[in-house]
Chains A and B, each alone.
Chain A
Amino acid sequence: MEMLEFVVPALNVKAILPQAILSLTALTVLLVGVSSPHNKKTSSLGYLSLVGVVVALISTLMINGARESAYNGMVLMDGFSSFITLIVCIVTLLTILSSINYQRFFPRLNCGEYYCLLLFAAVGMSFMGSAGNLLMIFLALETMSISIYVLAGFKSDEAQSIESAMKYFLLGAFASGFLLFGFALVYGCTGTMDLVKISAFLTAHPEVIHSKMLMGGVALMTVGFGFKVAMFPFHMWTPDVYEGAPTSITGFMATGVKAAAFAALLRVFFVALGHLQADWTGIMWLLAFLTMTIGNVVALSQTNIKRMLAYSSIAHAGYLLVGFVAGSKLGQSGILFYLLSYAFTNLGAFGVIALLGRDGGEYTSLDDFAGLGFKYPLMGLAMAVFMFSMAGIPPASGFMGKFYLFSSAMKAGFIWLAIFGVINSVISLYYYLRVVVVMYFKEVERDVVMPKPSAAVVVGLVIAAIGVLQMGIFPSYFWDMARQSVQAMLM
């Protein structure tokens, strides 16, 4: 091969500012955690990482509106990546606030490694939103996944937690293999891994678009991403992993990983492989329908609330796929809006569940919630709001999210898919409202006492509840933001 020619990119700190801040915080937390004779009672590490996340959040808002590609197209800085980074920062913020309370009862979690891995997972997630190259997507995905494998097994004295980590690890690595082979085939067809250049190549060589190799690559990538977003038929791991993982991490996995994986999915399929849209729409229609139906139907019979929310998370992946099938800018904006709404809702719900956890028991059975609504009125109210939002009842944000997703599908001509989506939402009402009914009207069998929550988690739950109501009652601000983000996507 002849001598390689390349352009040395400029150092562009601005393009990776939020991620750099998060990484720096992660390293600092790691060093502080290991060097100070650490007192397990204090939450200083949690607050330290909180500061980093808030600074990263502010920096994201500051660079919002920039539009350029940096590091030879490896990192794309546009509205889309800013929005994803925003979601990731909010997810991490709420997770840390919940963890600060949770770790009082599970001191094993109170160490530098926990927060370091949490922050590095966040770095991976936000890079998935701003990756402009298949190589970068792979690296970001693995940064996120490897951190979360460890986090899922962090309660290393509990067999369930380790089992959850093991299942997630084996299936995650398996899925990575498929994803990578898909990348290899796409690279083989187009000769480049840059998303924008792939699209340009396919424009110039339309005969490649329907080659078997490219089709195979797209299919393998769908499998790989399908595992990450818990799409049917690759959803089997979700309930087990969510149930066994520490509750403070489960919400992080359900919201952050989903947001990051959908971000990468949108970038790869719409920026790089937009020419194949007609080919994948049919199969994605079917997968969207099956994913939401299976998730909702199986969730009906669950008695463990973490497991129920895991199946509900599969169903939500199905709703998000509806926007993906619609394929229009409207559908993509709907996905972004829904991801943000889901982040507030789901982290709120898991925050409430984590409130009950302590030594010797997580109290995640549905019956444990009996009577809690009257005993702890504020907590009950918050949980009711989050459940309404998941079910899609106005005035909560879930309603607006579903409205945008389904209406985008209607406008794109997928009327039946939208109808199935609405039917599914009606089915899901049963199990979400059952939680509320149990909280307020069920006879108490086992008296569950909630330990007094720390201030941090209260702040977190208030933020989540305000987010849910704000996005539900005044959605236009966030909706405009989501639409501008998609408009500003670098193509």
Chain B
Amino acid sequence: MVAYHNLYLALSVVLFTIGAIGAITRRNAIVVFMCIEIMLGAVNLAFITFGRANQSVDGIFMVMFVMAVAAAEAAVGLAIFILMYRKRGTINVESFNLMKW
């Protein structure tokens, strides 16, 4: 069993890294947000794996809360993106230059 855990963890780390790199390098705000969601997915995988390894359900509960919070975050984030699009006509993160970055 333990060998499988290591595989899941490796996958989780890889996913997290992909998400983090994507969030830094991508220019479209929605893609950046999707990359952040990949990071959260990686976190969920890690929590489930650890929950299984530790024989406790805390990890699974955490995943449920992460999912619910991610939904709320998505709702707020997309609303902000829409406002931004209406105001500026673009959601490219490089165009947010009203203030010095």
Q: Give residues in A with beta carbon < 8 Å to B.
A: 1, 4, 134-135, 138-139, 142, 146, 149-150, 153, 156, 159-160, 162-167, 169-170, 173-174, 176-178, 180-181, 183-185, 187-188, 191-193, 236, 239-240, 243-244
Q: Count residues of B near A (Cβ-Cβ below 8 Å).
A: 47
Q: Which of B73, B77, B80 has the most CB of A within 10 A?
A: B80
Contact A180 B66 (CB under 8 A): yes
Q: How far is the CB of A183 from chain B (nearest CB, A)?
A: 8
Contact B76 A188 (CB under 8 A): no
Instruction: Collect the chain B residues with CB atoms within 8 Å of residue A240's CB.
Output: 99-101
Instruction: Collect the chain A residues with CB atoms within 8 Å of residue B23's CB.
Output: 170, 174, 177
Known: A146-B72, A163-B84, A163-B99. 9 other contacts (CB 8 A): A146-B76, A169-B76, A177-B19, A177-B20, A180-B40, A187-B47, A187-B59, A239-B100, A240-B101
Q: How far is the CB of A128 from chain B (nearest CB, A)?
A: 14
Q: How far is the CB of A233 from chain B (nearest CB, A)?
A: 13
Contact B61 A150 (CB under 8 A): no
| Assembly CA distance A183 to B43 (angstroms) | 9
Contact A177 B73 (CB under 8 A): no
Q: Show 30 residue pairs from A and B whose CB-CB distance is below 8 angstroms, ordered by the A residue.
A: A1-B52, A134-B62, A135-B58, A135-B62, A138-B65, A138-B69, A139-B65, A142-B72, A146-B72, A149-B80, A150-B76, A150-B79, A153-B80, A166-B80, A166-B81, A166-B84, A169-B77, A170-B23, A170-B29, A173-B36, A180-B43, A181-B16, A183-B62, A187-B50, A188-B9, A188-B46, A188-B49, A188-B54, A239-B100, A240-B101
Knowing A170-B33, A180-B66, A181-B39 touch, does A188 contact B53 (C-beta < 8 A)? yes
B43's nearest neighbour on chain A, judged by CB, is A180
| Assembly CA distance A1 to B1 (angstroms) | 13
Judged by a CB distance under 8 angstroms, whether B2 is at the interface is no
Instruction: Collect the chain B residues with CB atoms within 8 Å of residue A163's CB.
Output: 84, 96, 98-99
Number of A-B pairs, beta carbon distance below 8 Å? 127
Q: Give residues in B with beta carbon < 8 Å to A.
A: 9, 16, 19-20, 23, 29, 32-33, 36, 39-40, 42-43, 46-47, 49-50, 52-59, 61-62, 65-66, 69, 72-73, 76-77, 79-81, 83-84, 87-88, 93, 96, 98-101
Contact A173 B33 (CB under 8 A): yes
Instruction: Collect the chain A residues with CB atoms within 8 Å of residue B61's CB.
Output: 135
Closest 10 CB pairs of A and B: A177-B39, A188-B50, A191-B54, A184-B46, A180-B43, A240-B99, A142-B69, A173-B36, A159-B87, A163-B96
Knowing A146-B76, A173-B36 touch, does A160 contact B99 (C-beta < 8 A)? yes
Q: Which of B20, B59, B81, B98 has the most CB of A within 10 A?
A: B98
**A4, A170, A244: the one within 8 Å of B57 (CB):** A4
Instruction: Collect the chain B residues with CB atoms within 8 Å of residue A166's CB.
Output: 29, 80-81, 84, 96
